[in-house]
Amino acid sequence: MTTTTPATRPRLFSRALLLIMGANFGALTSLYLLLSVVPLYTAKLGDNGGAAPVCRPVC
């Protein structure tokens, strides 16, 4: 009787993939955190409702 060893599969989440996923999460989080402040920033600069309402639906 012959014995066969099962084929090993490569890992699904490699170190490189986890680093890329972490970098994407950090970039998107920082983008949306900054984007949510744009209406407040334009209002502070003296905007009388022109640009801030345009930014609000995006945020």
Phi/psi at 50 (5° precision) = -80, -55
User: What does the pLDDT look like over 29-40, one tens digit per residue?
Assistant: 988 888 778 777
Residue 24 DSSP symbol:
H
Q: What is the pTM of this model?
A: 0.52
User: Residue 36, Cβ neighbours under 10 Å: how many?
Assistant: 13
Q: Where are the domains of the chain?
A: 15-58
User: What does the pLDDT look like over 3-27, one tens digit per residue?
Assistant: 787 888 888 899 999 999 999 999 9
CA 22 to mean position of chain CA atoms: 9
Contact in structure between 58 and 42 (CB atoms under 8 Å): no
Three-state SS for 49? coil
Whether the per-residue pLDDT at 59 is higher than 90: the answer is: no
